[in-house]
Structure 1
Amino acid sequence: MTARPALEIAVTSPAGARAARENGADRVELCTALELGGVTPSAALVEAVAAEGLPVQVLVRCRPGDFVHDAEELDLMAAEVRSVIASGAAGVVIGALNADGTLDVPAVARLAEAARSAGRPVEVTLHRAVDQSADPVATAALLPSLGLTRVLTSGGAPSAAEGLATIAAMAAAAPGVDVMAGGGVRLGDIPALVSAGVGSVHLSAKVRAPRRPGGTWVPMGAGGTSAEQDTHFVTDPGVVARARRALDDLA
């Protein structure tokens, strides 16, 4: 029997991890600054989310923007990998590209080795740098030789539904690697994604938190152009529960 596809929820807090666990998620991906595509969380946040009980995959990304990293950034991310694993992460979510859009194999291998240096089993996921690579299928084909656990992808498209054919080709090109569909996934997309061969489905399941005014509002960086937009995202328990049901209905 084919294994049931796993449900991973992107979270930014212990409350988000609880909502994911209580509504049927199999694991969470933890980051901060989800509004910017996510960056590495603090060690204290990793510890707090790990205490909620689900396996925690931690995004290690030292800054927003592109995925071409210099030596100093790679040094920092290698240290961050070791830190989050020591803080209780079950795995890390990493990635790096060369300027020509190919996978930076030495960088990815180095970050994966940093994760495994803890001396216990850990999972290593290639993040959506794959979707900005010159050839997502060719990139996926490299992953078995690197020993990576999974790859998070929209098939190089704005959403996973639009990248369905590429996702299927990636699954065929990377035997033994869990190809996880993520990026604009809607509940109605789940049957087609599973039919394409994905082993996991990733949702942010996010909703804007209501703003709690603390006085006069002024714009501060990337927070938005109005007080209504200047909030953060939280996990919607209802979306998690409906995604769980959608996956279970396919079993």
Structure 2
Amino acid sequence: MRNIVKEACVETLDEAILAEKNGADRIELCSRLDLEGLTPDRNIIKDVINSVKIPVKIMIRPREGDFVYHGQELDLMKDEILYCKRINVSGVVFGVLKEDKTVDLKTTRFLSDMATGLEITFHKAIDEVSSIFTEIDRLKSIQAVTSILTSAGAETAVKGSGTLKQMVYRYKDQL
């Protein structure tokens, strides 16, 4: 049987400390969870890293809205990933799509290369694609991406539970 990992998605230092105290196995640190999560402030990242003992993944998402990024946004994402590497976070969470709602493999590879040595989770951008299984199959070509954060294209994981079960069965230990 597979171990269940309890990850707490938090926005503040106090929430991170409380999550660890209450048994979380790891933290995903974001700002603006009401917008599906944005990159948190560097001071909060540093404070959380210095205050908890469990692994911390950082959301890399420069703005709300779609997951199509260009130019300065990608530069900002790269800079945030490199900062996260410097301060020894355990991983980063990001997702990049093309205008046609497919995974932007080229940009995902680029950002993954920047994040070498960190755990990489592909963000809920996968929920915006038109064919989730096709795009996961494509995403698997990037070996550095080891997990996907998804509600299976539904509003919530509970509503997407049927598709999530299919994903678990289909991909087992691949992601």
- Once the two structures are overlaid, the 10-residue window that deviates more, 34-43 or 93-102, is 34-43
CA distance in structure 2 between the partners assigned to 1:37 and 1:158 by the alignment:
11
Shift in CA distance, 3/173, structure 1 to aligned 2, threshold 3 Å: closer
Shift of 1:173: 4.1
Counterpart residue number, 2:11: 12
**Secondary structure, aligned partner of 1:6:** coil
Shift of 1:58: 0.3
Shift of 1:175: 4.8
**Secondary structure, aligned partner of 1:149:** strand
Spell out, residue by residue over 1:98-133, the C-alpha distance to the aligned partner (whole angstroms, 9 max, x if none).
1111100011111111111xxxx3100000000011
Among candidates 131, 150, 160, match of residue 153 of structure 1: 150
CA distance in structure 2 between the partners assigned to 1:98 and 1:87 by the alignment:
30
Counterpart residue number, 2:95: 95
AA aligned opposite 1:155: A
CA distance in structure 2 between the partners assigned to 1:177 and 1:79 by the alignment:
29
Spell out, residue by residue over 1:68-98, the C-alpha distance to the aligned partner (whole angstroms, 9 max, x if none).
1113211221111111221231000011111
Counterpart residue number, 2:67: 67
Query: Which structure exhibits the higher relative contact order, with contacts defined as CA atoms closer than 8 Å and separated by 6 or more residues?
Result: 1
**Secondary structure, aligned partner of 2:141:** helix
- Using structure 1 for the length normalisation, give the TM-score: 0.65
Percent identity reads 34
Q: Unaligned regions of 5+ residues in structure 2, if any?
A: none
1:79-228 matches, within 5 Å, as: 79-116=79-116, 121-147=117-143, 148-178=145-175
Spell out, residue by residue over 1:172-201, the C-alpha distance to the aligned partner (whole angstroms, 9 max, x if none).
4435344xxxxxxxxxxxxxxxxxxxxxxx
AA aligned opposite 2:30: C
**Hey, which bits of structure 1, 4+ residues long, moved more than 6 A?**
none
CA distance in structure 2 between the partners assigned to 1:13 and 1:88 by the alignment:
18
Counterpart residue number, 1:47: 46
Shift of 1:42: 2.3
CA distance in structure 1 between the partners assigned to 2:152 and 2:127 by the alignment:
6
Report which of the two structures shows the higher radius of gyration computed on alpha carbons.
1
**Secondary structure, aligned partner of 1:73:** helix
Contact 2:103/2:139 (<8 A) preserved: no
Shift in CA distance, 163/169, structure 1 to aligned 2, threshold 3 Å: same
CA distance in structure 1 between the partners assigned to 2:86 and 2:166 by the alignment:
35
CA distance in structure 2 between the partners assigned to 1:84 and 1:76 by the alignment:
12
